Amino acid sequence: MKIQEDIRSGIYKLIWSYMLDYENTKNPFQERTEPIAKWRSYAAEDMGEEREVIELAIRISHEGIRKFDSLHIACAIKAHADYFLTTDDGILKRAARVQGIRITDPIGFIKEVMA
């Protein structure tokens, strides 16, 4: 909740991507899709599908990260994000292998930026 509050107040910038739109439309629970979609209005940047993103995602997927997750991370890197926040254990286990961005969970992020 702290991170969300800080995004709304402009302390942190949220990067949105076409992958977030895609995954959100695949969610069968309407009560979840609407609140997620509203976050797009807070995004500082909205990454679309680009050849460079796809090529980067392919390289990231060679590090053992699933294809869709690789596309999310590639969008963040292309947008020059400093952090990619996730609660996905599979991504977090392989995070050190991905160059160009700091991957962590929300609690780790708060601890890191508050230090």
Domain boundaries, the chain: 2-110
65, burial (CB in 10 Å: exposed 0-12, middle 13-18, buried 19+): buried
Q: How far is CA 90 from the centre of its chain?
A: 14
Instruction: Enumerate residue ranges in the chain where pLDDT < 50.
Output: none
Structure tokens at 109: 């992020």
| pLDDT at residue 80 in the model | 96
| pLDDT at residue 90 in the model | 94
Express each pLDDT in 17-34 by its tens digit: 999 999 999 999 989 999
| pLDDT at residue 114 in the model | 85
To 10 degrees, what angle do helices 67-78 and 18-25 make?
Answer: 150
pTM: 0.91
Q: How far apart are the first and last CA of the chain?
A: 19
Q: Which numeric CATH code is attached to 2-110? A: 3.40.50.1010
